[in-house]
Structures are given as structure tokens and as C-alpha cells.
Structure 1
Amino acid sequence: MDDWLEIGSPEQFKALSHPLRQRLLFALGREPATISQLAVSLDARKGNVGHHLKVLREAGLVRVVETRKVRGGTEQYYQRAAKRMSYTTSPVEHTQAVFGAVAEEVSRAAEQPLVVLRHLRLTPEVAARMAEVLRDVVDGAQDAGEGEAVHGVLVALYRQPGVTPGG
């Protein structure tokens, strides 16, 4: 699996616009899985999972990493194309899909999740430094490996539209 994938093509944004595809990407970030395994873990129909994996694969977001012969067929193991995916611009539909998928994950959390939204007035310099620190925290976090609980981390820093300095 590659370390980084920059999202930018219309096909990739379209592929990311469906909540089940977002959930598939989250699941495949942990370890490779088959359509059947994903269907069970995400409580979805195999046909739906197969269709959405095809869309993600055609967009270059997942790939087949292993095949195995099983009772009269071939089983494919899918994996996310990169550990981390980032984008510098995003259509509003993509942002909505990401937050929808995250909201669904948070609603299923095993423990009380930490979700904080705070609005601050920041200078451009402080906002840039905060973005750098947040990026460093996420990039520096190390996976503890198999046997440990999986935690989702979502970080966002954005300037609100229409709010002008001194306003």
C-alpha cells in the first residue's frame, strides 16, 4: 500500500460521493478483505459491496492485492490504494459524503466519542501554524498494530465564508 494518494480527478470525487464507498475505504484502511467479509462487517449486501468496490477500483482508490482459489471460484482481497488520502480542493458533495460516513461511524462508536466544534477568530499566521500542528499530530500517530482497538481521527480547520475581519 502506498503512503499517500492525492485525490483530484472527477472520477475519484464521484467515487467518493457515496457513503457506502466511504465506509468501504475506512474498512479497507485496516486490512485487505473480500467482498463477503466487507458485506458482513458493514452489514451490506454482497451485490452492493461488489458494485461499489468496482467504482472505487476504477477510480484507483482500491486494488486487488491477493486472489485465492475457493470452491469453484476465485476470491479477491481488496485493499485501499494508499494509507492516507488527501485533497486540496473538494466539491461540496464529497465533503458531505465524508461527513455522512464519519457521522455513521461515530454513531456506532463502542465508547463515547470526542467530537468538538469550536469557532475561533485567528490571524492568518496562527491558522497556518495550527494547520501545521494538526497535520503533524495526525501524520506522527503510529498504528499500534493488530489486536488494538481501531480509532477514527478526523481533523478539519477551515475559514468560515462570509465572516470578515472586524465583522
Structure 2
Amino acid sequence: MTIVRVSTDDLPETFHVTTDEQLRAVSNLTRHRIMALLRFEPATITQIAQRMGLAKGSSSYHVRLLERAGLVKVVETRKVRGVTERYYAMAARSIELPHPGPGQPDVLLRSAVADLEASPVDGERHVRMAHLRLTEEQFTELGARLQALADEYRALSDPSLPDVSLIFALFRPTPRQQVEEDAK
């Protein structure tokens, strides 16, 4: 058996989605879930298919699209009985999506909601929406604190533990007056 490894230790911290091809690749729920699976450990097409309950051909199709978009990459190959197994991993530790344009859906939030809806209903969840009134300085400080907290816990992540997803969105909604005017 021949093994070729590419280190995942030197992965860039952030992959910035900049092209339409990358955005299309990441916006598909199946591909989003494949990327979530590859966050902490590399996997082969067969392993991805088994873990996600997909046909091997479907798994292969989605991984090829992600690889072509640069979102995942081969980090290890093994020659097993004349067949080359490829192990795929994320191309970076995190992915940053562009801000959606006016009237465009927010891919990240839609994917997060889909993941939340697909999570076990009997599992522990912490979901909350709060409406706040903040100064510009408070808004900026809260955003920085949320980001720092997420970074702190990401540094504590242990690949041997079960996945936990965290998403937060701190934004100023469209003023009520503008919503009412747009509805007219």
C-alpha cells in the first residue's frame, strides 16, 4: 500500500468565496453538509457517501464540484489493491461568503436554518433571537465579542468530539418605515 499525505496543518485560516462557481458550490445543502463533514477529518468519497446516506455517485459528483471550486482538496492518497483512494478535506479552516446583494438570499443563514431543522429534535439546542437597541459603538463591540467568542471555542475544538454548529447574525434590520413604504 502506498500512502501520500498532504499536511492539513498548513491550511489557510480563511477561504474567501469570490466567484459565482464557488458561491453555487457552497449554496447547495448537500455540498454544505459535505463540507461540514470534512471540517475536522478527511474522508474518501465512499466514507462521505456512507456517513451522509448518499449514493457513491452522488457523493462523487458533489465532491468534484467542491474540488473544482477550490473549497475542498485531496490531502491524502492511498493505493489499496490497485485502486487509489483519495481523502478530501476542507481547503481552509473557515469559509467567508460575500455579503448578498439587495434582494438576494443569504446562503449561510439558509444553510444554517436547514441544518438546524435537520438536527435531532430531542437534542439539546440553544436558539434565541433578541431585538436590541444599540449605539454604533455597542453594535461594533458586540460584533467583535461574538467573533472573539466563536474564535476562542473554535481553538478548543477537538476532532474526536461530536460536531456543534454555531451561527450568529448581528445586523440592523430594515427600518419599519421603509418596509411599510416598500409594501405600498
- Quickly name the TM-score band, shorter chain normalised: 0.7 to 0.9
* Equivalent position of 1:99 in the other structure: 112
Equivalent positions of 1:85-124 (< 5 A) are 85-90=95-100, 91-92=104-105, 94-95=107-108, 97-105=110-118, 107-108=119-120, 111-124=123-136
2:86 aligned to 73, 76, 86, which one? 76
Once the two structures are TM-superposed, the CA of residue 74 in structure 1 deviates from its matched residue by 1.0
Once the two structures are TM-superposed, the CA of residue 147 in structure 1 deviates from its matched residue by 3.1
> Unaligned stretches of 5+ in structure 1?
none
1:16 aligned to 17, 26, 49, which one? 26
1:163 aligned to 158, 165, 176, which one? 176
TM-score w.r.t. the length of structure 2 is 0.79
* Equivalent position of 1:60 in the other structure: 70
The verdict on how the C-alpha distance between 1:143 and 1:46 changes in structure 2, with shifts beyond 3 A counting, is farther
TM-score w.r.t. the length of structure 1 is 0.87
- Note the alpha carbon deviations across 1:138-160, whole angstroms, 9 max, x for none: 11222342433332111211221
Between Structure 1 and Structure 2, how many residues are aligned?
A: 165
Distance 1:163 1:128 in 2: 22
1:8 touches 1:89 (CA, 8 Å); kept in 2? no
Distance 2:157 2:56 in 1: 30
Moved more, 86-95 or 50-59: 86-95
Amino acid at match of 1:134: L
1:17 touches 1:93 (CA, 8 Å); kept in 2? no
The verdict on how the C-alpha distance between 1:151 and 1:9 changes in structure 2, with shifts beyond 3 A counting, is same
- Note the alpha carbon deviations across 1:51-98, whole angstroms, 9 max, x for none: 111111111100011111123311100000011111341341624542
Tell me which stretches of 4 or more aligned residues in structure 1 moved more than 4 Å.
Answer: none
> Unaligned stretches of 5+ in structure 2?
1-10
